[in-house]
Amino acid sequence: MPKTLGKVRPHPAQNEPLLFELSSPGKRGCQLPPLDVPETNPEEALGAGNVRREIEDFPELSEVEVLRHFTRLSTWNYAIDLGMFPLGSCTMKYNPRINEAVARTEPLAWAHPYQPEELSQGAMEIIATLEQYLAEIFGMPEVTLQPAAGAHGEYTGIMLVRAYLAAQGNPRKIVLVPDSAHGTNPATAVMAGYEVKTIVSNEHGMVDPAAVAAAVTEDVAALMVTNPNTLGVFEKHIGQIAEILHAKGAQLYMDGANLNALVGVARPGDFGVDVLHANLHKTFSTPHGGGGPGAGAVGVKPHLAPFLPAPRLKREDGLWRWDYRRPQSIGRVRAFYGNFGVMIRALAFILAHGGEGLRNATLDALLNANYVRARLEPHYQIAYNARSMHECVFSDARQEKFGVRTGDIAKRLIDYGFHPYTVSFPLIVHGAMMIEPTETEPKAELDAFCDALIAIAREVEENPELVKTAPHSTRVSRVDEVAAARKPRVRWVRG
């Protein structure tokens, strides 16, 4: 095999055992200053039975070993900083480093949530400003930033619907969810006490107003719709769907996972949405960090605002205050005020772009996705013919004939130095390949990615085994996930 494949050439990666295997007694990687008060006897203070003898098997390492350990592990990861991360519906865009720097500004990073409000005005102003800008972007008058992630925002949103309907006299029983939706949507509806009824997408991959009309009864609380949907297609009947729901007293919930397609172009509040969440760790560039932290902003129309989680910010005598007297509030969804550090980063992103800049970013995101689609359409089967917004979804139909599936193609992409696209989702597409480049990929990177997928399409026809056994260039070959689940080993134990 040639050394160079696409944009990569192999490079030695250090082996590294587990922390526990590196440990040796007596080592430590930190040192405390001398205690400036008398030492308390733990047995006396806590009671002998309450004091642990030791933390059994807790590791013991020096500082340099800890640094090398995690640095070596880091080199086994792929990341946006290394290249395009085309996961559909995940919006893996560049994470600006100024955002990291300002989030570490000491008086912000070290602010205690219970320090006096008079001494927290800067943080409160940041939250209020971000709420205001997000409200403008959503087209919704009020926004809460208390939820800690997208799914947490969904949960908050559906609880708001329940509280609002309950205040009308009947919380209702059912939440409608299209079959193209993220799994979080039905899981959320159940957590918020609803039954889920699935709406089947039409032949264009869209929610059909007729299907909604047929499903909406006096028992339906809301429809949860993702727009653009998980095919990257704008739900063109969204206004009509909103009218159908509203006529029956039901609410329109929008999953804003794909908001990156809309900022500055269309506002959910303007096309009939009552409540939506958006992920600050997607559209607003805060780093995904290998799985969080995120933040889920929830925007609402005025009729839902009284139910927002407490506390809410209010302006009083020239100062920001936390208002805890919210008698209709659903209560708290998280301790304190939300993932404030994530909010700082999101605000920094919005400030960097400005209003017009945010729209320009959206247009580039749409252009990148459409360009990828145009280049790949001769080689892969587009799932639905509808126009793409910020992502495009293919099916593995042509490759399946050679016994190669979307998951295999994804693994082969790794050999070409790219993170895979989203595999096998949405579920309504047979062998889905869901690609979202975002606006922060240069054309050259997009071309390298398309070239890789085109080369793989050829490999599928000429040497399917090569693709089916990929990846070939990673530290570990294909990982046996079935074995992992059969006999779960989820912690290290002394062997």
Partner 1 sequence: MRYLPNSDADRQAMLAACGLSSLEDLYRHVPQNALIREPLQIPPGMSEYEIAAYFREKAGKMAHGYASFLGAGVYAHYRPVLCDVIAQRGEFLTSYTPYQAEFAQGTLQSIFEFQSLICQLTGMEVANASMYDGSTAVAEAAMMASRITGRSRFLAPSNLHPEYRQVLETAARNARMTVAAFPYSPATGQADLNALEQALDDHTACVILQSPNFFGVLEDIQAAAGLAHRRGALLVAAFTEAVSLGLLEPPRGADIVAGELQSFAISPSYGGPFAGVIATREKFIRQIPGRLAGETRDQDGNRAFCLTLATREQHIRREKATSNICTNQALIALMATVFMSLCGKQGLRELALQNLSKAHYLAGGLERPFSGRFFNEFVVKPKRHSVEDALRILLEKKILGGVALKRFYPELGDCLLLCATEMNRRQDMDAVKEVLA
Within 195-214, the residues that bind partner 1 by CB under 8 A are 196
Number of shown-chain residues binding partner 1 (CB under 8 A): 201
Within 384-443, the residues that bind partner 1 by CB under 8 A are 387, 389, 410-411, 414, 419-420, 423, 425, 439-443
Residue 120 binds to partner 1 (criterion: CB under 8 A): yes
Angle 178-181-185 from CA coordinates, rounded to 5°: 100
Within 448-477, the residues that bind partner 1 by CB under 8 A are 469, 471, 474-477
Applying CB under 8 A, among 5, 6, 7, 78 the residue interacting with partner 1 is 78
Residue 167 binds to partner 1 (criterion: CB under 8 A): no
Between 73 and 461, whose beta carbon lies closer to partner 1? 73
Residue 321 binds to partner 1 (criterion: CB under 8 A): no
CB of 296 vs partner 1, minimal distance in Å? 9
Handedness of CA 466, 470, 475, 479 (dihedral sign): negative
**Contacting range for partner 1; rule: CB under 8 A; set: 248-256, 266-274, 393-401, 453-461:** 266-274
Q: Which two tokens stand for residue 118?
A: 């008079």
Q: Kindly report the backbone phi and psi dihedral angles of residue 418, in degrees, each rounded to the nearest multiple of 5, phi listed first.
A: -120, 145
C-alpha distances in Å from residue 374, one per residue of 230, 260, 378, 387? 19, 20, 8, 11
Between 141 and 293, whose beta carbon lies closer to partner 1? 293
Residue 490 binds to partner 1 (criterion: CB under 8 A): yes
CB of 482 vs partner 1, minimal distance in Å? 9
Residue 300 binds to partner 1 (criterion: CB under 8 A): no
Applying CB under 8 A, among 246, 359, 379, 430 the residue interacting with partner 1 is 359
Residue 105 binds to partner 1 (criterion: CB under 8 A): yes
Residue 277 binds to partner 1 (criterion: CB under 8 A): no
* Residue 174, beta-bridge partner list: 195, 220
Measured distance CA(363)–CA(361) in Å, rounded: 5
Handedness of CA 52, 53, 56, 57 (dihedral sign): positive
Q: What is the DSSP string of 325-368?
A: --TT----SSSTTS-HHHHHHHHHHHHHHHHHHHHHHHHHHHHH
Between 133 and 401, whose beta carbon lies closer to partner 1? 133
Residue 180 binds to partner 1 (criterion: CB under 8 A): no
Tell me the one-letter amino acid at 296: G
Measured distance CA(391)–CA(349) in Å, rounded: 21
Residue of 126, 148, 121 whose CA lies nearest to 332? 148
